[in-house]
Chain A
């Protein structure tokens, strides 16, 4: 019964939306029929999937973005331009003379344009770590910038020698056994065989496409903590579980791992925020 209702509602929406878009867009500009259909299908898909609570952080992030003067921050496409920013990160930034990923770049820009010291940036970035239902501004900024690239494909430029170097370093660290338990990232996230933790199937960097599916949905809204989790928080949590030393966010290690993971994910469509346990 509910299924019939849902499918008829979606079908009705599709028809209505198609007609609606034609009339609405006729007032703004001329769109090709394919473009209109794509917009309608996109909207229908969004309606069918519901709303991810992480989108509230994205709205919060829009204000925090201006509050911390991040509209002067260049993510690689020009100051303040966030559409498509996540798709081409990590990349080499000549003004910082380093390869940076999204969060490292936000941290750097906070130091440059919001007058924060590195310690303050670290405190700002980790304000929600270990908490639940935390409406943190840093998570909000990361969510806002990440959502602006929704629908675009990950396109890390591995031809740049600096980025390539970071990719290789990240790959070596990924497979490097360390610590009292001889753990590395590959212990869980590599190999051809499917591995599980309880009921969750783990993605593997050696099986094609899975790293992309895992990484293209970050920041991910976690139901168990009722807040989004960013990439650096995920690194910190993994390293805590591996009994590696305490992870330092916005470090070169994070950039190396991000370069490896996003480099492996090249071609995957970004779909932020994801939702998980």
Chain B
């Protein structure tokens, strides 16, 4: 984890280095470039269609993630904060989550006749003839 973090920082540091500014930490805000300038350049680069300008608004988790080049380079608390923020946006189905019993499913999959979605009503017994495919034997 620390090694990848160091590599990530080294990568950004090497790329973003200039004789005047030598930084060792991740380049969140380069000293020469303000966020307003970046925003202006970004806005000018797209067709000014009001229907889609909402796409250029960053929400908080996007803003946090934009400061790091990749997930490996993010510190643990930043990852935690993003997970917290986005957990609120997960929409669960209104009828609840129904998974069913996985043991029954395994029986269906492992059976030589089962494994098809409509085979829950069929009797599960070995086939009369040998030679049909059985799991974990071939």
| Direct contact between the two chains A and B in their complex (CB within 8 A) | yes
Interface residue ranges, A against B (CB under 8 Å): 158, 161, 164-165, 168-169, 171-173, 175-180, 182, 184, 186, 190-192, 205-206, 239, 243-248, 251-254, 256, 264
Q: Is the CB of B72 within 8 A of A177?
A: no
Q: Is the CB of A168 within 8 A of B45?
A: no
Q: Is the CB of B41 within 8 A of A244?
A: no
Instruction: Name 15 interchain pairs, CB-CB below 8 A, sorted by A.
Output: A168-B32, A169-B33, A171-B30, A172-B33, A172-B38, A177-B62, A180-B55, A190-B69, A192-B4, A244-B55, A245-B47, A245-B53, A246-B49, A246-B52, A256-B41
- A182: B residues at CB distance < 8 A: 61-62, 65
Interface residue ranges, B against A (CB under 8 Å): 4, 7-8, 11-12, 15-16, 18, 27, 30, 32-33, 37-38, 40-42, 44-47, 49, 52-53, 55-56, 58, 61-63, 65-70, 72
Q: Is the CB of A245 within 8 A of B46?
A: yes
Q: A248 and B58 in contact (CB under 8 A), knowing A169-B33, A190-B69? A: no
Of A165, A205, A248, A264, which contacts B32 at CB under 8 A? Answer: A165
- A206: B residues at CB distance < 8 A: 8, 11-12, 15, 69-70
Q: A186 and B16 in contact (CB under 8 A), knowing A168-B33, A245-B55, A246-B52? A: no
Q: Please, which residue of chain B has its CB at the minimum distance from the CB of A174? A: B69
Closest Cβ–Cβ distance, residue A247 to chain B (whole Å) = 6
Of A164, A186, A190, A247, which contacts B45 at CB under 8 A? Answer: A247
Of A164, A176, A186, A253, which contacts B58 at CB under 8 A? Answer: A176
Q: Please, which residue of chain B has its CB at the minimum distance from the CB of A256? A: B41
CA distance A239 to B8 in the complex (A): 25
Total residue contacts A-B, CB cutoff 8 A: 109
Of B4, B8, B12, B32, which contacts A164 at CB under 8 A? Answer: B32
- A175: B residues at CB distance < 8 A: 66-69
Q: Is the CB of A253 within 8 A of B47?
A: no
Q: Is the CB of B70 within 8 A of A190?
A: yes
Q: Is the CB of B41 within 8 A of A169?
A: yes
CA distance A186 to B16 in the complex (A): 15
CA distance A56 to B47 in the complex (A): 32
Closest Cβ–Cβ distance, residue B110 to chain A (whole Å) = 33
Given contacts A164-B18, A179-B55, A190-B69, 20 further A-B contacts (CB under 8 A): A165-B37, A168-B16, A168-B32, A171-B30, A172-B66, A173-B42, A176-B42, A177-B63, A177-B65, A191-B69, A192-B72, A206-B8, A206-B70, A245-B52, A245-B55, A247-B45, A248-B46, A252-B41, A253-B44, A253-B45
Q: A244 and B38 in contact (CB under 8 A), knowing A176-B66, A206-B69? A: no
Closest Cβ–Cβ distance, residue B83 to chain A (whole Å) = 13
CA distance A246 to B53 in the complex (A): 10
> Looking at B32, B33, B72, which has the most chain A CB atoms within 10 Å of its CB?
B33
- A247: B residues at CB distance < 8 A: 45-47
